[in-house]
């Protein structure tokens, strides 16, 4: 009996993440995307390494966070009713709850979006980096670069992937303005 209890506790520990402040948003209304997301639409899937897939879920899209464990988050895009799986990859070297808190939150950054220069707003709408955009505009358009490839947002080169094999680099000048986008 004691062995059974220990086994059940071990299984529970492996499947449930430790409590995180982000978990308070699960099932709560009013949650939105804090950046533009780029899902693999045919598979209804996103990855914490932030692959830049063809799909777009714009910044400030209302979502419902359905459930989370250590390896995935299920959420529904309330604008179209579609459910997505957000898969965590430990290679990014970031706690999944901390990671998710940068992509989903309780308030749309509307004032910040409205205050962006016109070129940044254009890139955010398109979901991509454009030459001349600010670092913040790129984050809002493409999400955060994976921290294992770009450990500092002050770096002059941010690396994203379009899939497991192909990289995309965004190069910034000393003022934090996009100089080049390399596919």
For 66-92, letters b (16+ CB in 10 Å) and e give eebeeebbbbebeeeeeebbbebbeeb
**What CATH fold (topology level) applies to the domain 18-105?**
SH3 type barrels. (2.30.30)
Q: What is the pLDDT of residues 43-74, one digit of tens each?
A: 999 999 999 999 999 999 999 999 999 999 99
Rounded CA separation 88/79 (Å): 24
29: confidence class by pLDDT, cuts 50, 70, 90? confident
Token readout for 121 is 């707003």
Give me the residue label for tokens 């045919």.
42
Q: What is the pLDDT of residues 99-156, one digit of tens each?
A: 999 999 999 999 999 999 999 999 999 999 999 999 999 999 999 999 989 999 999 9
Q: What is the mean pLDDT of the chain?
A: 90
Domain ranges of the chain: 18-105, 116-182
């Amino acid at each position: 009996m004691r062995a059974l209890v220990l086994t059940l506790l071990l299984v529970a520990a492996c499947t449930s993440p430790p409590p995180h402040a982000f978990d308070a948003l699960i099932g709560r209304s009013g949650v939105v995307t804090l950046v533009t997301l780029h899902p693999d639409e045919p598979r209804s899937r996103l990855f914490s390494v932030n692959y830049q897939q063809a799909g777009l879920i714009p910044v400030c899209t209302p979502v419902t966070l359905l459930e989370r464990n250590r390896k995935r988050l299920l959420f529904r895009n309330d604008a179209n009713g579609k459910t997505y799986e957000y898969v965590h990859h430990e290679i990014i070297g970031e706690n999944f709850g901390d990671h998710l808190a940068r992509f989903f939150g309780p308030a749309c950054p509307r004032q910040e979006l409205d205050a962006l220069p016109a070129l940044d707003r254009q890139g955010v709408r398109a979901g991509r980096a454009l030459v001349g955009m600010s670092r913040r505009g790129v984050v809002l358009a493409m999400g955060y670069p994976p921290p294992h490839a770009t450990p500092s947002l002050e770096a002059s080169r941010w690396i994203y992937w379009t899939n497991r094999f192909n990289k995309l680099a965004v190069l910034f000048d000393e003022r934090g303005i996009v100089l080049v986008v390399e596919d």
